[in-house]
Amino acid sequence: MDADMAAVKTGTSTIGICFDGGVVVGADHRATMGHFVANKSVQKLFKIADNLALTTAGLVGHAQSLSRTLAAEMSLFELTRGQLMTVKGAATMTANILVGRPHWVQLLIAGVDDTGGSVYSIDSAGGSIPDEYCATGSGSPYMYGVLEDQFKSGMTEKEALKVAAKALLASAQRDAASGNGMDLVVISQKAGYRTLDAAELEALLKLC
C-alpha cells in the first residue's frame, strides 16, 4: 500500500500571498512519480469561483476530484444565496469535506471578499489555518526562504507578484519535483479573477 501511494504522489510548489486589496496565487507545472518526471504541464491551480482559487499538492486524482466538487459547491451556493461564498466559508467547507473523507492532498484556498484578501492552508485531515502568506508541497521550504525575507504586510499587487514569482523560481531551482513553468493568478476586490498570460509572465520573470 505504501509503495503504491509513493509511486503516484506528486511533488509540487504552490503559493498564496495577500496584498492590499487581494491575493496572488501560484503553482508550478511538474508532476513526478518518485524520481521520474511524469508530466510537465499538470494543472495545480483551479478557479472554483469568481473570487476564489484552489491550489493542490498531492495525489492528482484526489486533487482533480476536489476541484470539481468545490467548483460545483461554490456555484450551488451562488445560485441559492445570490452571492459569492466568503474565503473563510470556502475554507471551512473544504475542511469539512476532508474530515468526512481524508484525501492525500495539501491545499490552499485563496481569494477575496468584503474583508479583503485571505489565504487558508488546509491539510489532508481537514485542518484549516489562515495566514497572510503560505506555501505548500515539496518546494515549500525554498519558497518560505523567499517569503520570510521579502514578504511585508500591505504590499501592492506588483510587489506580491514579484515575490510569488521569485519564490516559485527558487523552488524550481532547488526542488527536483518542482518546475516546468508556473501559473500565476491575481484575485482583487477591484478587478476580480485574472490569470497572467505568457507575455505577462515573461516580463515578470525578467524582473526576478
Annotated active-site positions, please?
12
Distance of CA 80 to the CA centre of its chain: 27
E-state strands within 51-204: 52-58, 105-113, 116-122, 128-131, 133-136, 182-188, 192-195
d(CA 192, CA 194) in angstroms, rounded, equals 7
Q: What angle (nearest 5°) sits at the alpha carbon of residue 118, between those of residues 97 and 164? A: 105
DSSP reduced 3-state for 125: coil
Please compute, for residue 113, the number of CA atoms within 13 A of its CA located in the half-sphere on the CB side: 17
Question: Residue by residue, what is the 3-state secondary structure of 129-168?
Answer: EEECEEEECCCHHHHHHHHHHHCCCCCCHHHHHHHHHHHH
| Residue at grid coordinates 460545483 | 72
Rg for the chain (alpha carbons), in Å?
16
